Amino acid sequence: MKYYGYRLELEECYCDGCLAGDRENPVLLTSDCKVRPCVIKKGLKNCAHCERYPCQDLEARFIDGEKIVKKFGKPIPAEEYENFIAPYEGKKVLDKMRRKRRII
């Protein structure tokens, strides 16, 4: 709530995202997510392996930590950034995967 402006119960704050996992019953943060079903349909490990990366559907889901910090209006303690923002900065995570695999 503090950084994103909406409240999620702990049980609701989980999503398999585009990463591999249960292909039959993926856990999605929202029912209208197009990212996870796309990854499954294409048989990819995750979006970092897609030739269309980053697509419009994925970009709509990205969280930009710098924008959150700016919107918050004051410095965010490092521990809180690492716990509440960094894990959700999907573009940074996927870009790192692509660099590691020399996809980009």
- Alpha carbon distances (Å) from 8 to 15, 24, 64, 97: 12, 24, 19, 28
Helix (H, G, I), strand (E, B) or coil at 22: coil
List the chain domain ranges: 10-100
pLDDT tens column, 33-88: 888 888 888 988 888 999 999 999 989 888 888 888 888 888 889 999 888 888 88
Handedness of CA 56, 98, 49, 35 (dihedral sign): negative
Helix (H, G, I), strand (E, B) or coil at 78: helix
Q: Which residue has the higher pLDDT, 29 or 58?
A: 58
Q: Cα–Cα distance between 11 and 58 in angstroms, integer?
A: 23
CA Rg value for the chain: 15
Q: Which residue has the higher pLDDT, 27 or 34?
A: 34
